[in-house]
Structure 1
Amino acid sequence: MHSRKNQRDLTRTEKKRLVDAILELKRSGRYDDFVTLHRQYYVTDGESRPRPAHMTPSFFPWHRQYLLEFEKALQSVDPRVSVPYWDWTRDNTAKSSLWAEDFLGGNGRPGDRQVMTGPFAYRRGGWRIRAEVTDDHFLRRNFGRPSAPVTLPGAAEVDRALGDPVYDTAPWNSVSATGFRNRIEGWGIRGGRGIANHNKVHRWIGGSMAGAASPDDPVFWLHHAFIDLLWTRWQKAHPRARYLPARALPADDPQRDRIFPLDRPMPPWDVAPSQLMDHTRLYRYV
Structure 2
Amino acid sequence: MVYTRKNQARLTSAEKRRFVNALLELKRKGEYDEFVRTHIEHYVSDGDSGLRVAHMTPSFLPWHRRFLLEFERALQRVDPAVSVPYWDWTVDRKPGSSIWGSGLMGGNGRRSDRQVMTGPFARTNGNWVIKEGETDGDFLMRDFGRPQNPIELPTASQLAWAMRDPVYDTEPWDSTSSQGYRNKLEGWTSGVGNQKWRNHNRVHRWVGGHMLGGASVNDPVFWLNHAFVDLLWDRWQARHPRSAPYLPEKPPKAGSGPLHGRITARYETMPPWDVRPDELLSHRGTYRYA
* TM-score, normalization by structure 1: 0.98
Partner of 2:239: 237
Task: Give 1:270 shift.
Answer: 1.2
For 1:201 and 1:275, the matched residues in 2 are separated by: 28
Counterpart residue type for residue 234 of structure 2: T
Task: Confirm or deny: 8 A CA contact 1:183 1:189 kept in the other structure.
Answer: no
For 2:80 and 2:114, the matched residues in 1 are separated by: 34
Question: Which of 257, 270, 280 is the aligned partner of 1:253?
Answer: 257
Q: Give me the CA root mean square deviation.
A: 1.2
For 2:24 and 2:151, the matched residues in 1 are separated by: 30
For 1:82 and 1:134, the matched residues in 2 are separated by: 30
SS in 1 for 2:196: coil
Task: Give 1:250 shift.
Answer: 2.4
Q: Does 1:271 align with 2:280?
A: no
For 2:164 and 2:66, the matched residues in 1 are separated by: 25
Question: Which of 275, 281, 284 is the aligned partner of 1:280?
Answer: 284
SS in 2 for 1:37: helix
Task: Give 1:131 shift.
Answer: 5.5
For 1:38 and 1:255, the matched residues in 2 are separated by: 22
Runs of 4 or more, structure 1, over 6 Å off, are none
Task: Confirm or deny: 8 A CA contact 2:27 2:128 kept in the other structure.
Answer: yes
The superposition leaves residues 46-80 of structure 1 with CA deviations (integer Å, 9 ceiling, x where unpaired) of 11110000000000000000000000000000000
Partner of 1:209: 211
For 2:132 and 2:203, the matched residues in 1 are separated by: 24
1:1-286 equivalent positions in 2, closer than 5 A: 1-130=2-131, 132-188=133-189, 193-242=195-244, 243-251=246-254, 252-286=256-290
| Identity score, percent | 57
For 1:233 and 1:180, the matched residues in 2 are separated by: 12
SS in 1 for 2:17: helix
The superposition leaves residues 146-194 of structure 1 with CA deviations (integer Å, 9 ceiling, x where unpaired) of 0000000010011110000000000000000110000000011569951
**Aligned length, in residue pairs:** 286
For 2:53 and 2:182, the matched residues in 1 are separated by: 13
For 1:2 and 1:225, the matched residues in 2 are separated by: 14
Task: Give 1:104 shift.
Answer: 0.8
Task: Give 1:211 shift.
Answer: 1.4
The superposition leaves residues 80-100 of structure 1 with CA deviations (integer Å, 9 ceiling, x where unpaired) of 000000000000000000100
Task: Give 1:253 shift.
Answer: 3.0
For 1:223 and 1:213, the matched residues in 2 are separated by: 15
Task: Give 1:125 shift.
Answer: 0.3
For 2:15 and 2:173, the matched residues in 1 are separated by: 39
* TM-score, normalization by structure 2: 0.97
For 1:48 and 1:110, the matched residues in 2 are separated by: 37
Task: Note the residue ranges of structure 2 that are not aligned, 5 or more in a row.
Answer: none
